[in-house]
Structure formats: C-alpha cells, structure tokens
Structure 1
Amino acid sequence: MSRSYPNSVTIPVGVVVRRTPGVTRWAKYAWAVTDVLPGAAAADWKVLRTEGDVTEYHAATLPLTLYVSDAEAYAHELQARVPSIYTVLRPNEQSGGLPWSVALVTASPYEAQDYCDSAEELVEKLPLPHGLLAWVVEFVEKHYEEEAFVKRRRKNARVDQTDDGVGDARIRQATDVYRAPRRREVIN
C-alpha cells in the first residue's frame, strides 16, 4: 500500500473533481476538487457519476509523499481545527476538452501556500479522510521533535554606557547631530 524512500513514505491518492454548469456566460463549467481516495488505482479522468449537468471524475491518482524534513509542516496542519489535504490543479495546455490537470497532492500547508502565490493554479483544501489522518499522525509522532525555544542573549553588551546623541565627542557641536536639516532661504 505505501512505499518508502529514504526519509519519506508514499501512498497513492486519487483526486475526485466535480464539473458543474457555470454561473456566468464566460465560464461554461465550474470545476472543483471534492474528495480524495487513499490507496486508489491509476485513473485518467474516469467518470464516476453523472446527475443531470453535474459530473464527477476520478481525475488522477498521484503519490502523497511525507518527508521527514517537512514533519513540522504536517504537525502544524494537524493542529488545525480541521486537518486538511491540499490538491493543486494546473491549466491543461493540451486540447481535449478538459481544462485542468492534477499537478500535486500534499499534506503540507506550507507547500500549498507556495502554489497559492501564483494565480494560475487552482489550490483546493479538503478535510483529511480518517485513514489518511491516522497515517499522517503516525508519521508525525515518529519523526517530529519540537525544538525548545531558547531566547538569545546579547554577548559583550555594555549596558552601563550612555549615548547622548551628539555624535563625535572630538567635534564641538551645540546641538544634536541627528536633527533634520534646516531649509535655506534664497534672497533675490
């Protein structure tokens, strides 16, 4: 079911995309990711269900890989009110009637945020299914160690000295050197 690479584990996850009629004259259809299928077999826009004008597709099956280096991101996501998984749809450059291709499935909110910075990809957030949630929790418990916060202290700081703000003591000045320059008046 899951494969392991050095410092990571992977499981295939199917992505379900729903096509509904568009609400404006400029968009014939609206597309949204509605579900994920842990452990799904390979698929290429297989029709799952059609009811009237609404069609659901098993669009693709992609690997969901958890990396030890990203364990902090997964732990952060597990602390959310509803732990989620993220999918990224990218505009399809090929002709064939389908405007999107599934580019990524991730459990890292940080990686998903990187894709949100571009206005071209469609990033969808879905609740983690219970089985997938247990898998991510097990991975985080095994690999994540929270670092203790250590407040830095300044070394060799002389706090007993005072700064009077007049600049170099060798140069005689009547006032503060950090004052704003005065405006000169031009006489004609």
Structure 2
Amino acid sequence: MAKAASQIKMPVGVIVRKTPGVTRWARWSWRAVALLPGAGPADWQELRREGETVEYHAATLPLSLWADETEAYMVNLSDGQPSLYLVLRDELKGETPLNAVLITASPFEGQDYADTGEEIVEKIPMTEGLIAWVRDFTLQHHRDEVFVKRRRDKKRIDLVEDGKGDARIRQDTDVYRAPRRVLQ
C-alpha cells in the first residue's frame, strides 16, 4: 500500500479588480475577486477593462495543503462559502501597489496574518474544482483527535504555605500587611 503524500501543491492565479475610489483620500479601491486553478505565471497582467475598472491577473501563487492542517480545512469546507485567503502587502513598486505574498486554504492561518495588521487578507470564494480538491485531500488525511481529560495528581497542596505573605515581615499575625519603613 502506497503512503499518501503529506503535502500537495497547486498553482492558483489571483484576479484583482481595481475600481475608482469613493473618497478623495483613496483614489483606487483594490479587491481580490476570483481564482484561476492551475494558472501559469503572471505579474499584474491586464485581463479586462471597462471604463476605469480594470481586472488584473495579479499573481500565481502555490496553494499548499498539509496533512497536519486538515482540521483547519474541515472548518473552511463546513463554512457556507468555502474560500481561499490571499495575503497582500502594501508595497508600492511601479504601478502595482500590492504584492501578493501567500494563498492558503486555512482560515486559521488567514486569521493569523490578519491579526498582525501589517498585511491585507482577502477572502476569495473557491471554485467547485478547488473545493473538491481540498475536500479529497482533507478526507484522505484527517484524523479526529480523541479528547483526553487531564487527571489531577494526588499531591496535597495544603500542607506547606510557601511564599505566603511578605518575607520581610517577621510576625505570624498579619502576613498580608505591607512592611513599614524603619525610621532612624
């Protein structure tokens, strides 16, 4: 019996739409709108233009699935709309203000990047083919972890009162009293 690979990869193209901004402070609004499974390499290749709205094939990134992350993929697949999470960095290089860094199927990893506040995380709905690909890998590798309740040890903790009160106080009556300054 052949052992299944613990990691698989697929190149996924990301479509980003540039629309005119609605305020004077934001000239353009950038939004990831679609995915291209199995896409070839691209670097902000213009796909379509309608007036001032432009769609770009921004990048093609490897989508990696790991056997250890199947719990996260199960959470994603059980969502109403399974999605991939695109991590973008705000780096101005030429005409492209965003740099596509990572694409992941793990909502936990997407949340980790969103928590830093340094990156922009876009949630992009998966195509039917991507959903099937992620589901097949997840079902092949997912193992439910059995909950094991931790048992208390039998050590008695009520016998010695180490560290109770302030060591600078030399009396047994009020161990919670603050020490006084010695006047000379």
Letter of the 2:35 counterpart: V
Map of 2:123 onto structure 1: 125
The alpha-carbon deviation at position 129 of structure 1 amounts to 1.1
The alpha-carbon deviation at position 123 of structure 1 amounts to 0.5
Distance 1:6 1:135, change over 3 A: closer
Map of 2:133 onto structure 1: 135
Distance 1:157 1:139 in 2: 46
5 Å-filtered alignment, 1:1-188, equals 7-95=6-94, 97-157=95-155
The alpha-carbon deviation at position 120 of structure 1 amounts to 2.9
The alpha-carbon deviation at position 117 of structure 1 amounts to 1.9
The alpha-carbon deviation at position 76 of structure 1 amounts to 2.0
Distance 1:41 1:174, change over 3 A: closer
The alpha-carbon deviation at position 157 of structure 1 amounts to 5.0
- What TM-score, normalized to structure 1? 0.79
Letter of the 1:17 counterpart: V
Deviations along 1:131-176, whole A, 9 cap, x unmatched?
A: 10111111111111010112111121569x89xxxx8xxxx9678x
- Secondary structure (helix, strand or coil) at the match of 2:135 reads helix
Contiguous gaps of at least 5 residues in structure 2: 165-170, 179-184
Q: Identity of counterpart residues, as a percentage?
A: 48
Distance 1:49 1:142 in 2: 39
Deviations along 1:94-129, whole A, 9 cap, x unmatched?
A: 23x110111111001111112112323211012221
Letter of the 1:62 counterpart: L
The alpha-carbon deviation at position 81 of structure 1 amounts to 2.4
- Secondary structure (helix, strand or coil) at the match of 1:111 reads helix
Distance 1:126 1:85 in 2: 5
Distance 2:53 2:93 in 1: 23
Deviations along 1:22-47, whole A, 9 cap, x unmatched?
A: 11112111000001111111111111
- Secondary structure (helix, strand or coil) at the match of 2:111 reads helix
Map of 2:168 onto structure 1: none
Taking only aligned residues, the RMSD between alpha carbons, in angstroms, comes to 2.9
- Count of equivalent residues: 174
